[in-house]
A and B are shown apart, each in its own frame.
Chain A
Amino acid sequence: MMGNVFEPPGLSEFVHKRKDGSAVLSSLIVMLNPSKYGLERWSYVLQRISGVVVSFYFIAHVLETGNFFGGITVWGPISYETAKQSYEAVKAFLKDPLFDAGLAVIGLLVAFHSFNGIRLILAHFGLALKRPSRPEPPYWPSSFSNLQRALFWLSIGLAVFALVYTLDSLMGVFRS
């Protein structure tokens, strides 16, 4: 605590600190384990996992598109022919179907993160929520209304659709 400002403790402060220093790993396991909790916890975990994976994809995408134009050593205008050579080299590297499959997974994660994110923005501003109620067993959070649940499952549905569509578009998986 500093002055009157409340500073929330990190997960690692609640986790038993082992002698081998694995408290960080333990706090990660606590964070990423949604079992024994409700649907909202699954939403929390999936939102974080999808966000982190898409962030790493974004970094890779910026570096990859930079390579289309000569890579990090080039910082000035280049000719069309030079750019085309770089582009062909990167395209040959990305020809592996593994990259297409990875892109399809990114499509799934981006779709889920986007639509679940819209649900979270609505919840943040008090929209689509139930009235607050006294906590009683089994302690289902009253904030997670039927509409919020529907939006969560809609996020899952749209994410699966994005996966199927991207797989079909990039790899022709569902085409005869």
Chain B
Amino acid sequence: MRERHLMLLHYATGLGILVFGAIHVWVVFFTYPLQDTIWETTLQFDNLPFAVLPVYRNTLLALSLFGLLVCTTVHAINGLRVIIIELFGPRGITTLLTKVLIGLGAFLVIYGTRTILIANMIT
């Protein structure tokens, strides 16, 4: 993939993070606690027992969380790769570090997906 395409992907995932991140912050910190603590508009997450679970158990919200996970991973890994290229140039240690970053990204997506799935399937 050429750099200009990667840059467009960087922007697209950045905008994706804004959308999915807004949903994530909203449902985790604002919407759910309102059901138990009426009209408390500040963060009450810690005062509720395991309040975040219903967020994960809703399939649509779990899918949006997966979208956030993928977008953030791609955005973060590509951003770190760009910084490494700026520091070291496109060859040499950059190639190795890029492979390490891709491995880290794959781990984060797999492990994060596992968390979303387990939470979604809790009985």
B50 at the interface (CB under 8 A from A): yes
Judging by beta carbons under 8 Å apart, are A58 and B87 in contact?
A: no
Q: Which residues of A contact B94 (CB under 8 A)?
A: 10
| Pair A28/B87 contact, Cβ less than 8 Å | yes
Number of interface residues of A (CB under 8 A): 45
**Is the CB–CB distance between A7 and B89 below 8 Å?**
yes
Shortest Cβ distance from residue A152 to the other chain B in the assembled complex, whole angstroms: 17
Tell me if B108 and A52 are in contact (CB < 8 A): no
Give residues of chain B (1-49) contacting chain A, Cβ–Cβ below 8 Å: 7, 11, 14-15, 17-18, 21, 29, 42-43, 46, 49
* CB atoms of B69 and A12 under 8 A apart: no
- Report yes or no: B50 in contact with A8, Cβ–Cβ below 8 A: no
Say yes or no: B121 contacts A55, CB within 8 Å: no
| Contact yes or no, B46 A91, CB < 8 A | yes
Q: How far is the CB of A65 from chain B (nearest CB, A)?
A: 5
Whole-angstrom distance between the Cβ of A163 and the nearest chain B Cβ: 15
Pairwise interchain contact A77-B118, C-beta atoms closer than 8 A:
yes
Minimal Cβ-Cβ distance residue in B for A27? B87
8 Å CB contacts to B: which residues of A30-49?
A: 31, 48
Please tell me which one of the listed residues A31, A66, A169 contacts residue B114 in the complex, with CB atoms under 8 A apart. Answer: A66
In the complex formed, the residue of B with least CB distance to A107 is B25
Q: What residue of chain B has the Cβ atom nearest to residue A114's Cβ? A: B18
A45-75 interface bits toward B, Cβ cutoff 8 Å, 1 = contact, 0 = none: 0001001101100110011011011101011
A170 touches B43 (CB 8 A): yes
Contact, CB under 8 Å: B42 / A62 = no
B80 touches A55 (CB 8 A): yes
The answer on a CB contact under 8 Å between A31 and B14 is no
Cβ-closest chain A residue relative to B109: A62
Asked if A9 CB lies within 8 Å of chain B CBs, one says yes
Task: For the complex, give the distance between the alpha carbons of A20 and B106 in Å.
Answer: 36
Q: A66-B112, A69-B115 are in contact. Are A31 and B121 (CB under 8 A)?
A: no
Name the CB-closest residue of A to B46: A91
B108 touches A62 (CB 8 A): yes
Chain B residues within an 8 Å CB radius of A173: none
- Chain A residues contacting B76 (CB-CB under 8 Å) are 51, 54-55, 58-59
Q: Are B123 and A80 in contact (CB under 8 A)?
A: yes
Residues of B within 8 A of A59 (CB): 76, 104, 108
